[in-house]
Each structure stands twice: as structure tokens, then as C-alpha cells.
Amino acid sequence: MCGIVGSINHHNIVPDLLEGLNQIEYRGYDSAGIAVIGEHGLTTIKRPGKLKQLETYLSTTPLSGHAGIGHTRWATHGIPNEANAHPHSNDQVSVVHNGIIENYLQLRQWLTAEGFTFNSETDTEVIPHLITLFLARGLPPTQALHEALNHLDGAFALGVLFKNDKDHLYAARRGSPLVLGKGLQGLSLGSDTMALSSSVKEILYLEEGEQACLGRDVFTLFDPKGKPISREMQPFDQEREDNGKDDHQFFMHKEIHQQVATTRDTFHHTQHCLLDIPLDFEQFQRLTIVACGTSYYAAMVAKYWFEQIAKVPVDIDVASEFRYREPLLSKNGLALFISQSGETADTLAALRYAKANDQTILSIVNVAGSTIARESNISLQTQAGPEIGVASTKAFTAQLAILAKLAIHTAHYRKVIDVKEVKHLLNEMNALPGLIDITLGIEDQIKVLGASIKDAKHAFFIGRGINYPLAMEGALKLKEISYMHAEGFGAGELKHGPIALIEPGTPVFVIAPDDSLLEKTLSNAEEVAARGARCIIIGNQASIRNLPEGMEHLILPPCDNRLSPILYAVALQLIAYHAALALGTDVDQPRNLAKSVTVE
């Protein structure tokens, strides 16, 4: 959720802090702020709204310092305003925080009794006051921070400045991610590597419960008990992708168009990785897949692939519910976790539950050094590159690309399909980037279609079989960025309640490739059309051949129907994008959302 940055070096670090915040603003954009130590001591500046509000202020009121921290907020406790924005500071300490302090009310009562005054509604404000309490009891900064951490319940990644320790920047984490970086000009910290200075050449991920003290040139690491430990930084090749929008109005549009390259790159990378994957696929009799949000819909698609192609029984769970139902997992089973960021809090907690229950952990992430990747036995990385738009597009199709390859590899390994069928499926997959390019070529038609639904109160997406989860993903994309109420259903479920919502003119998108379920799907389309719905059939030339008169259609190129979710996802993304564009919403930073969900 929230994004934090920090830097200490030999020059003014304010530009570095703002650069880092710009890189990770997708983590939250309710407010932004920085705190620095300079000639005038410890100074905190924060503003409600997006980062540009803070940048505008600083352009007219310059600030400088050699050590500083910054924050971009997704509100958890307290409304988005200046008082609740980070950093939270008193006259001794300033703190930025990503996470949730679960016992903050008890701590707040205690600290109020100790004479501290609170100016915000947040859980975070207890942290600088708690540290200050232990400073007043005579503890040096490192020990005061450690003692404060021992009183916190919940999750946190922290950047901390001390007014009277101008030569150090402090960091700590438990439950939320934090990475340290070292460059030629100093040390830095961030919620992820995107937040680090472009000059960083080495990185170190803090492990659970660790604490760090950063100087300009060196750092000291502490274990959860506060004892100094030694661990070397690892070389880091930034190769930061150009984060400009190029000729696109929004990052999301750019990222939709990048899917020709990202699916191709993921196909090729995964094929190479699977040759060396240390898994005996005959050993596992059942597969458990866990994910959240869009990644969960990728998991739902994968269930069809693994069961129909590889003949492996699959259980899927939404990560936020997985461990709370205390699932009975097969002895020595295989559990697969999917997360774009590799830091999704619920998915990580589910992974740890599965690991504690003797499951082999396989993950699919877009960030190689993420916590989920590090805690997995085996991790496969999508080749999507940084995804700046909050609504996932290229990361979703890259996840599907890996999952399809993995299902085919498993089927071949288990000898449930022959070499001829493997070659056919791989050839069909290799053709998909070209088919995505063709689909992007009809964007003008999709633009008209997307804009035409902007005045609708509701929109529905229906599909059968492997396209049922895609219907839910299409609805999610539309509601995320247009704020239009949208739902996705299995087409056969309409008669069990949802059809009551159909009114004259209600748009219903019907995902209907030319597969074995086409006749049933079109029959369901006619049922809603008979009640006045505006049906739009998304299919190929063969599937729209015998449509009833008056039904609209969008024709996509033909592909193997088992792989159609990868292709059809692109059309659904464009429909949502152009509907949102017509409504004038902020496509890249939709209200109330954030990119990386690192709190439960």
C-alpha cells in the first residue's frame, strides 16, 4: 500500500526523495510528505492529495538536507488530510510507516498518560512518541528504536530520523517489505527497488524483524533481538525501464500495448526456466493455487488448464480467506502462489501457512527479489517489467503465459499428452503475441464500443468454462477504473438471480469464442436480450456466424480456444480503458486503490 523512501548522502537529498516517491506513487496517492535534517534541524513538510501538490509547494519553498525520509500514503486510519499524512514527527523523531499497528489504541492511551499529545487519527503517530519515550529514559537511538519495536503489534516497514543524530538514517521491518540500497553517493531505503536512487549499485532486503542503521557510506544490521549481524549487499543492475508514457495518454494504455512484447518475452523466458525446474511433477497428486484480485482470476483460468490439459486436480483459494478456513493440505503437496508485486500481505501469509504445513512452495511474481520469491522453494518471474498503472494489464497476461506453459510442461512430464499435442499448443502460444497485435489494431472499433457504455448504470460480463473467470476479470477492470458497477458471472448462473438486474439497454458483454460451449453461451445471451439487454458478443468469425439479428459483436482473431483468455483479456482491458476515458476518470490512479496491497 503506502510507499516509503529514505536517503542519506553528501548532498541535498530532497531531489532523490521526490524521485523515489514519483517511482512508487502507485502505492498510494492520498497524501505525500518528506522530512529532512538540515541546517535548521528536523523539518517536516507534507501535503494532502497527490505527490504533485507536495512538489508544487517545494518548488516555491525550497528545502534541503543530507538525510531524509519520504512517504506517499494510502489511508488506513484517518481520512486523507495534512494532519494524517506522513511523516509523523515530534520535536525529536520523524517516522514514515507502511503497515498497520494493531495495538495503537492501547499505546495511544499509555502515551497520552505519559504526557504526549496526538495531532492525527493515525495508528502511525504512536511510533515517534514511543521512540521519544525511550530516548527520554536515556536509551541511544538504536536501542530506543528497538525497544519501541518490541511494543508494536502488527505490520510495519519504517524509516526513522532522529533530530540529534544527524549522521544516520534508521530502518526496520516486520511484515511489510523494505530494501536498502548503496550507490556512489550514499545509502537509501525504499518499499521496493523502484524507490531507490537510480545510482544504486547494491541492494539488501531486510528480513523479518530486522533493523538497520544507515550512515553515508556504511550501514549496520541488527537481528530481531537487536544484536548486530553481518550480511553483504548484492549487486543490483538497475536497468530501470523508461517510465515515461511515450505517446500514450496514460500508463495503462502504454502497458496494454506492451503486451505483444511482454507475453512473447514471458513465453520464451518460462520455456527456458522450465527446463531446469527442480520439481518432480509425478510426485504431486494435487495442486493448491492461492492469489488475490486479478491474480486470483489468473489462478481460476489455470485451474482449467491444469485439470483439462495436465489432469492434475486443483484447489484454488482467495488468499485473504485461505488460512482462516484452516484447509486440509495433502501431505508433501505443491502450493502455487501468484502475486504481481511479490509482497501481497494476504498471499504471503497464506504462503507461510502452507509452508508450515509441509507444502512445496512455487510462486509466480513480477519482482525477482520480492519477499514471496525469497520465501518460495521455486519462483518463476513474469517478464512484464514495471507496471505503473494501478489496474493490472500486462502483469495479468504474463501470469497467464507462465501458467499455460507450466500446465503444458506438467502434462508432458506426466505423459498425459503426446509430443504432437505439446508442439501444437506451444506453436499456438508462440502465435499469441501476433494475435494480440492484431487485436490492438482494432482499437478504434473498441474505443467506440467502450465510450458507448459510459451512461450505463450497470454492466455485466458472462462466459462459460475457461472464459468464466475472464468475465469476472473484465468486470473488475471496468469497475476499477470507470467506477461503473460491473459484475462477471458464469453464463449459466444468470437465471439463478443476476438476470433480475437486467433492464432495457443494460450492456452485457458475452465472451464467446468458437468452443464446445458456444451454443449454450449464445442461448444465455438471447435470454438477456429478450429482457432488453444490449448484448455485445466478443468472439471470432466462426462464433458470430449465426448471431440473432440485432446483436452487436466484436471479432477477434481465431486461436486455440484453450488459450483464448490471454487474447480476449486484451480486448476487455481496452473496453474498460475507453469507457473510463469517456467518463473522465484518472485511469492510472483510480480512487481508493493502490498497486501493492501490503496490509491485510
Find out whether 557 and 567 touch, Cβ atoms under 8 Å: yes
d(CA 391, CA 588): 7
Q: Report the 3 state secondary structure along 243-299.
A: CCCCCCCCHHHHHHHCHHHHHHHHHHHHHHHHCCCCCCCCCCCCEEEEECHHHHHHH
Name the catalytic one among 46, 405, 477, 595: 595
Active site residue 595: yes
Cis amide bond preceding 235, omega within 30: no
Q: What is the pLDDT of residue 519?
A: 93
Q: Is 273 a catalytic residue?
A: no
- Residue 112: per-residue pLDDT: 97
Q: Are 571 and 554 in contact (CB under 8 A)?
A: yes
The secondary structure element, H or E, covering residue 401 is helix 394-413
Cell 432488453 found at? 532
Give the contacts of 448 (CB within 8 A, at least 6 positions apart).
Answer: none
Instruction: Please name every residue paired with 32 in a beta bridge, in sequence order, or none if there are none.
Output: 47, 72
Helix (H, G, I), strand (E, B) or coil at 313: coil
Q: Would you give per-residue pLDDT tens digits along the chain (600 residues)?
A: 689 999 999 899 999 999 999 998 888 889 999 999 988 899 999 999 999 999 999 999 989 999 999 999 988 888 989 999 999 999 999 999 999 999 999 999 999 999 999 999 999 999 999 999 999 999 999 999 999 999 999 999 999 999 999 999 999 999 999 999 999 889 999 998 888 977 899 999 999 999 999 999 999 999 999 999 999 999 987 655 556 898 999 999 999 999 999 999 999 999 888 888 888 888 888 999 999 999 999 999 999 999 999 999 999 999 999 999 999 998 889 999 999 999 999 999 999 999 999 999 999 999 988 999 999 999 999 999 999 999 999 999 999 999 999 999 999 999 999 999 999 999 999 999 999 999 999 999 999 999 999 999 999 999 999 999 999 999 999 999 999 999 999 999 988 999 999 999 999 999 999 999 999 999 999 999 999 999 999 999 999 887 877 789 999 999 999 999 999 999 999 999 999 999 999 999 999 887 777 666
Sheet holding 534-539, edge to edge: 485-490, 458-463, 507-511, 534-539, 552-555
> pTM for the whole thing?
0.92
Non-local (6+) Cβ contacts of 60 within 8 A are none
Question: What SS3 class is residue 104?
Answer: helix
What's residue 281's pLDDT? 84
Of 2, 213, 292, 535, the active-site residue reads: 2
Distance, CA of 366 to CA of 394 (rounded, Å): 10
- Residue 340 three-state SS: coil
Alpha-carbon gap, residue 582 to 500, rounded angstroms? 28
Q: How far apart are the first and last CA of the chain?
A: 10
pLDDT of residue 272: 86
Torsion angle, CA of 190/191/197/198, rounded to 10 degrees?
150
Residue pointed to by grid coordinates 543530507:
66
Enumerate domains of the chain plus CATH numbers: 3-235 (3.60.20.10), 247-440 (3.40.50.10490)
